[in-house]
Amino acid sequence: MPDDRTKRITLTSIRQLWEAGTRREFLRVAALGGGAVLLPTMFAACGNDNGNPSEPPPSEGVTLDLSSDPGVLNYAYALEQLEAAYYTQVAQAFYAGITPEEQLVLTDIMGHEVIHRDFLAGVLGSAKIPDLAVDFAGANVDFGSRFSVLSTAKVFEDGGVAAYNGAGKLLKDVNNLLVAGKIVSVEARHAAAIRDLLRPGTRDFAGDDVVDPSGLDQAIDAGFLLQDSALGQFITTPINVIS
């Protein structure tokens, strides 16, 4: 019978989350009923909940000019900052009773959101907006509750997909549109995975509330999501959107 050491995998770096060898080892450990030990240094490498720890949140707000590609990409960057911050906080102390499979799903999603955030920051360079201040406590997210964590994740993922779908038409450079299309396809996988965790074995992964009768995903006009929707409550930095 395997001892306890064969039923644990220790992660010290965010990069380990998408290395093939680490993934195989995690699956082996999960099959034995074990799980992952996430060291504090791993989360330090991700920065604070707002992104880059060297760049404090802006005090006077930010402006997103959606008439230009950098403005649209900054809109996506703002969403990815929010999602990366959320899943990083989820992974710092997973809710009680989480299964190895659920932990793997949420850890993978966290890794993807961090990659999306950092990729967009690199693409934007000096044109990127500052790190945003976020507040999940004020929105009454209970990180110790499975239902609260997954229900909030559903809001993020469904909203993120709809936001990318709505903003894509504003991009003028086809290369930027291609990148946005690649990112939103991953976000849609996240949305389906979260919905399946909440209602396993149902067709909710592509429910009528997100897929229309023509088989197309919903779209939200750019800017609405950060100002007037449920996602806006998590961002405390004032955001001014110019169409």
Query: For residue 37, how far is the Cα from the chain centroid?
Result: 21
Q: Are 133 and 237 in contact (CB under 8 A)?
A: yes
Please give the C-alpha separations between residue 37 and each of 6, 99, 101, 188, 204, in angstroms, as whole numbers.
Answer: 12, 13, 14, 28, 32
Q: Which domains does the chain have, with CATH numbers?
A: 1-45 (no CATH), 49-242 (1.20.1260.10)
pTM, two decimals, is 0.74
Q: Are 11 and 38 in contact (CB under 8 A)?
A: yes
First to last CA, the chain: 63
- pLDDT tens digits for range 111-167: 999 999 999 999 999 999 999 999 998 778 999 999 999 999 999 999 899 899 989
